[in-house]
Amino acid sequence: MSRTDTSRLRSAEAIAAARSEGRAALVGYLPVGYPDLAGSIDAAHTLIDRGADMIELGLPYSDPVMDGPVIQRAAGAALARGNRTRHVFEAVEALSGRGTAILVMSYWNPILAYGPDAFARDLAGAGGAGVITPDLIPDEGADWIAASETHGVDRIFLAAPSSPPDRLAHVVSHTRGFVYAASTMGVTGTRASVSAATEGLVARTRAAGAENVCVGLGVSTGDQAAEVGSYADGVIVGSAFVRTLLEDEDDRPAALASLAAVADDLRAGVERARR
């Protein structure tokens, strides 16, 4: 990758910018390569245009243990169409430099296969801010921690509702950018409500030393975004966006229009959360 990091917006900077406007950051997840590489980049551009502060690009993987059926279906189609790690870097490079932090969500095996140092180097070179590693814990992440430090890449670990204080402190001390607070112990997917325990998890993670805590898993509507955005630093949305692409799979303009409408509702939610 030839790009320098001068155009890279880090995740903490994106959160700080949203905070200066009196709101939580809106983080949108999309799998790279669905419906195809160009289509996934177009979808991410749509989210950026509708006010997403961060984009989380999913690296398609054959064993997505944390993904629900909606994201699994889209990521499986992306894999079947030949999308691989290098395509994620192409998407990052196409999206960076527009005032939005670009993150990658990847399970550990693809990073390990690529080489942790090379992955961090190429992500930074493409303009990426950092990586969310849902199946990697700090205790087993020495190689990734070293690589991310070397190349200035945010490393985002997860905090679970069941995490005790000492575990939260351990996660916080090894995280850079923000802590990803999982609102449930389950997989991704839209839900009728966000767990009542989530606000407590955010408070406990802050008490453990976290400056920024973003909540994911289950947020799908503007009202839910307003609820979570009233206490979290960022609201992460995935399945609600991906579902719109799946529902209009054969009509790309309609899919992007639906995606924009969902993004508008969610952005309005985070804006009214703290009024």
The pLDDT, as a whole number, for residue 217 is 81
* Cα distance between residue 96 and residue 5, in whole Å: 10
* Cα distance between residue 17 and residue 217, in whole Å: 23
The pLDDT, as a whole number, for residue 197 is 84
pLDDT digits (tens, 9 = 90+) for 88-145: 999 999 999 999 999 999 999 999 999 999 999 999 999 999 999 999 999 999 999 9
The pLDDT, as a whole number, for residue 67 is 79
The pLDDT, as a whole number, for residue 256 is 98
Handedness of CA 258, 263, 269, 275 (dihedral sign): negative
State mean pLDDT over 214-218: 89
Could you tell me the pTM of the whole model?
0.92
Query: In sequence order, what are the residues at sequence separation of 6 or more whose Cβ sits closer than 8 angstroms to the Cβ of residue 142?
Result: none
Peptide bond connecting 64 to the previous residue in cis, omega within 30 degrees of 0: no
Write down how long the chain is: 275
Instruction: Count the Cβ atoms, other than its own, within 10 Å of residue 266.
Output: 30
The pLDDT, as a whole number, for residue 7 is 62
The pLDDT, as a whole number, for residue 62 is 84
* Cα distance between residue 261 and residue 147, in whole Å: 38
* Cα distance between residue 232 and residue 49, in whole Å: 23
Distances (CA, A) of 18 to 78, 175, 219, 229: 32, 20, 18, 11
State mean pLDDT over 70-74: 93
pLDDT > 90 fraction of the chain, expressed in percent and rounded: 86
Among residues 170, 187, 188, the alpha carbon closest in space to that of 179 is found at 170
* Cα distance between residue 107 and residue 58, in whole Å: 9
One DSSP character per residue, the chain reads: ----GGGPPPHHHHHHHHHHTTSPEEEEEEETTSS-HHHHHHHHHHHHHTT-SEEEEE---S--TT--HHHHHHHHHHHHTT--HHHHHHHHHHHTTSSSEEEEE--HHHHHHH-HHHHHHHHHHHT--EEE-TT--GGG-HHHHHHHHHHT-EEE-EE-TT--HHHHHHHHHH--S-EEEESSSS-S---SS--TTHHHHHHHHHHTT-S-EEEESS--SHHHHHHHHTT-SEEEE-HHHHHHHHHTTT-HHHHHHHHHHHHHHHHHHHHHTT-
Among residues 39, 95, 30, 28, the alpha carbon closest in space to that of 59 is found at 30
* Cα distance between residue 181 and residue 163, in whole Å: 10
The pLDDT, as a whole number, for residue 275 is 72
State mean pLDDT over 210-219: 93
The pLDDT, as a whole number, for residue 186 is 44
Annotated catalytic residue, options 21, 49, 67, 166: 67
Residue 137 has phi, psi (to 5 degrees) of -105, 155
Tally the C-alpha atoms within 13 A of residue 160's C-alpha that lie toward its C-beta: 12
Give the least confident one: 65-69, 70-74, 161-165, 214-218: 65-69
67 is annotated as an active-site residue: yes
Reply yes or no on whether the pLDDT at 68 is more than 90.
no
State mean pLDDT over 67-82: 92
Annotated catalytic residue, options 53, 56, 122, 199: 56
The pLDDT, as a whole number, for residue 184 is 59
pLDDT digits (tens, 9 = 90+) for 177-210: 999 999 754 444 444 446 578 999 999 999 999 9
Reply yes or no on whether the pLDDT at 3 is more than 50.
no
pLDDT digits (tens, 9 = 90+) for 142-178: 999 999 999 999 999 999 998 999 999 999 999 999 9
**Quick check: 128 and 119 in contact, CB under 8 A?**
no
